[in-house]
Amino acid sequence: MTARIHTTGRFRHVLTALLAGACLALAQPAPAQSTGRDLPDFTVLVEQVGPSVVNIRTSARVSTRQYPGPQMDEEMQEFFRRFFGIPFPGPRVDPRRQQRPEQEELVPRGVGSGFVITSDGYIMTNAHVIEGADEVYVTLTDKREFKAKVVGSDKRTDVAVVKIDATGLPAVKIGDVGKLKVGEWVMAIGSPFGLDNTVTAGIVSAKQRETGDYLPFIQTDVAINPGNSGGPLINLRGEVVGINSQIYSRSGGFMGISFAIPIDEAMRVADQLRTTGRVIRGRIGVQIDQVTKEVAESIGLGKPVGALVRSVEDDGPAAKAGLEAGDIITRFDGKTIERASDLPRIVGNTKPGSKVTVQVFRRGSYRDIPVTVGEFEPERSASAGTPEPRPGGAPLAAAQDLGLAVADLTPAERRELGLKGGVRVTAADGPAARAGLREGDVILAVANVEVQDVKQLEAVLRKLDKGKPFNVLFRRGEWAQYAVIRPAR
């Protein structure tokens, strides 16, 4: 049975009009469609997190010794001498005027930001915000002001915790930095130039940004200025993912690049500060440097990864375990060392007393060395000076084209340097000088072969391909480093 649609004259007119309207709509250009998401609305985040952000101001005590009556500073006195010919007697004081005793007064020192991490009054900020302060004051968004107690401060991570006598405070939510993505929207709240609760926003520009400090930073383009330090960096879920800490600037103001301390690292430090008042870190007693591409290729490592050990502290954990200057540390306790800056962070987070396995690349092969981690303490500064030139030494027959003249180390020199072998450079010219070697350096290995004395060095050089570059591990002062010698053709 076939169904049919019957229309009356009235409905026929209506249907005709609808069809005509549809055809007209099809003939009109379609409205432009948005290819991206709408810009975020930060108002809810500000209402949610804003009450947890505080203003921090600090004061310092200074000693003053005053005289009665107004005093004129030296610059003003010089101005009057030069342009008006009015002489001043200098610092001499009228004996009839009595000197007032030395006094102490509090003077404003700086302004920063912070945020509440517990409802009972613990507040996180930057260490540099409270550094050198005798008194710290915290102002909440409801205008209540408290004198704060410094719980602890850690300069290496630039994290500090202060405590105020208050309860029921709105604490922030801590986010997962591992889920933070480059390009993600973030927001900052702080007190730039003392302007409380200023909100700025931007995106994450990069993660794991190395700036030479102890921690890798989150880089953003969020506007950060003096006074923002210590304030929170917040994701779109209202969670704190970092502490705004530094900016890159040539003028002192914001230039589009700012850095935040990852909140997971900051909370690890804050927990220790709250528990013990200080941060306990592991150490192994080595001085390290980056591995360059040229060195990596010359020693057979391939890629420029790991941390080059430049010196090993006497009687330190690394020395007792058998690590040597020139080793490349590629793994520590199962964690890969991609770059030199990874090592102090990983070692620092290792509990002192732990026995870990350190993988090193030494003279062409990998080896695992067990090391017992010590507790961090200020390390002795190593001297990078060049030893005084000593007489002796002559060009080797196999090294004439390299411009090297060397001599054996005396037993006294070996004891002084703490070395089992090596040869002293007495002169460097040509390819050796161009590679960076100079008089006073001590050659420890050539082409991944350990060198004990001049005779062995000559034997190693004779076996090398005269036209190919080779690596030399040498020590200068307390530091060990690699050089790549390219023979002249």
Both 407 and 366 in a single domain? no
Angle at 429 between CA 424 and CA 432, to 5 degrees: 65
Return the minimum-mean-pLDDT range out of 38-47, 131-140, 296-305, 375-384.
375-384
DSSP run (H or E) holding 442: strand 442-446
Cα–Cα distances (Å) from 204 to 36, 181, 207, 257, 436, in that order, read: 18, 7, 8, 10, 41
What amino acid is encoded at 478 in this protein?
E
pLDDT higher for 295 or 115?
115
Both 330 and 423 in a single domain? no
For the chain, what is the mean pLDDT? 80
Distance CA 256, CA 271 (A): 32
Cα–Cα distances (Å) from 78 to 66, 81, 83, 89, 246, in that order, read: 21, 5, 9, 11, 39
Both 398 and 308 in a single domain? no
Both 264 and 293 in a single domain? no
| pLDDT above 90 (res 49) | yes
Both 210 and 257 in a single domain? yes
Q: How many domains, the chain?
A: 3
Is residue 120 assigned to a domain?
Answer: no
Q: Which of helix, strand or coil describes residue 292? A: coil
Question: Average pLDDT in the 413-420 region?
Answer: 81
What amino acid is encoded at 187 in this protein?
M
Both 411 and 364 in a single domain? no
Both 316 and 400 in a single domain? no
Is residue 457 assigned to a domain?
Answer: yes
Q: Residues within the annotated binding site for substrate?
A: 128, 158, 227-229
| pLDDT above 50 (res 214) | yes
| pLDDT above 60 (res 33) | no
If pLDDT is split at 50, 70 and 90, which confidence band does 408 have? confident
Is residue 237 assigned to a domain?
Answer: yes
State the number of CA atoms in the 13 A half-sphere of 303 facing the CB: 6
Is residue 422 assigned to a domain?
Answer: yes
Buried b (16+ CB within 10 A) or exposed e, 443-465: bbbbbbbbbeebeebbebbeebe
Range of the domain at 437: 394-485
CB-based contact 238:134 (threshold 8 Å) = no
Distance CA 258, CA 261 (A): 10
Domain end, chosen from 242, 276, 310, is at: 276
pTM value surpassing 0.85: no
Is residue 129 assigned to a domain?
Answer: no
pLDDT higher for 357 or 63?
357
Write the CATH number for 356.
2.30.42.10
Residues 441-455: pLDDT tens digits? 899 888 888 888 888
If pLDDT is split at 50, 70 and 90, which confidence band does 469 have? confident
- The catalytic residue positions are 128, 158, 229
Is residue 158 assigned to a domain?
Answer: no
Q: Token pair of 374, please? A: 């010590």
Domain end, chosen from 257, 276, 295, is at: 276
Q: Which of 409, 387, 388 is nearest to 456 (CA)?
A: 409
Residues 168-186: pLDDT tens digits? 999 999 999 999 999 999 9
Question: Average pLDDT in the 399-420 region?
Answer: 79
Is residue 456 assigned to a domain?
Answer: yes
Is residue 11 assigned to a domain?
Answer: no
Question: Average pLDDT in the 417-424 region?
Answer: 84
Question: Average pLDDT in the 195-209 region?
Answer: 91
pLDDT higher for 480 or 138?
138
Both 405 and 453 in a single domain? yes
| pLDDT above 60 (res 27) | no
Question: Average pLDDT in the 95-122 region?
Answer: 76
Task: Quote the pLDDT of residue 100.
Answer: 56
Question: Average pLDDT in the 96-109 region?
Answer: 63
Both 401 and 469 in a single domain? yes
Both 270 and 289 in a single domain? no
Task: Quote the pLDDT of residue 151.
Answer: 94
Residues 247-289: pLDDT tens digits? 876 656 677 889 999 999 999 999 999 998 888 889 999 988 8
Domain end, chosen from 313, 341, 375, is at: 375
pLDDT higher for 341 or 240?
240
Both 403 and 476 in a single domain? yes
Percent of the chain with pLDDT over 90: 39
Both 298 and 248 in a single domain? no
